[in-house]
Homo-oligomer: A and B are copies of this chain.
Amino acid sequence: MDAIDKKLVGYLQLDAKKTTKELSLKLNLSVTAVYERIKKLEREGIISKYVALLDKKKIDKGFMVICHIKLVQHNVDSVTTFEKEVVKLDEVLECFHVSGDYDYIIKIYVKDMEAYREFMLTKLTTLQHIGSTHSVFMIGEVKNETNFKV
């Protein structure tokens, strides 16, 4: 990864549909050179995938909740079964095992508070080994990006 590669992934993180021609102009390279660099980055797994991002509000997922979860126990069985079950939940886009006062932080996207209540009662609290949950509601999204400064 030289300086050109860093610029390149910078552009692709913002717009994956940029053509090699457009990129070649921005980077002052030939299209082939850009092409080879992109393929190298894909081969090495630095670029892992290309995805479409949706407008959360327009698909009724504008209500975000961050939920802190404690397990009752912390043995391997509790942890693995909890993790296996939580990844299945469509409303949960992120789940991190963390240090501190609780064990997991999960990020939930639903339509509104009513949908969240429904999610809590029918899905989250039915998970095994859960000790306690603490919900933090999003009031406003200040920043939410997928692109790293590299």
| A128 contacts chain B at the CB level, 8 A cutoff | no
Q: Roughly how many angstroms separate A90 CA and B150 CA in the complex, as a whole number? A: 9
Query: Known: A98-B66, A138-B96. Is A48-B44 also a contact (CB below 8 A)?
Result: no
Query: Known: A59-B150, A66-B105, A94-B144. Is A15-B50 also a contact (CB below 8 A)?
Result: yes
| A54 contacts chain B at the CB level, 8 A cutoff | yes
Copies in the complex: 2
Interface residues of A (CB under 8 A from B): 1, 9, 12-17, 44-56, 58-59, 61, 64, 66, 83, 86-87, 90-100, 104-105, 109, 136-150
27 A-B residue pairs with Cβ-Cβ distance under 8 Å, sorted by A, are A9-B54, A9-B59, A15-B49, A16-B52, A17-B50, A44-B58, A46-B58, A46-B59, A47-B52, A48-B54, A50-B51, A51-B146, A51-B147, A54-B148, A54-B150, A64-B96, A66-B105, A87-B143, A94-B144, A95-B141, A95-B142, A96-B140, A97-B142, A98-B137, A98-B139, A104-B142, A146-B146
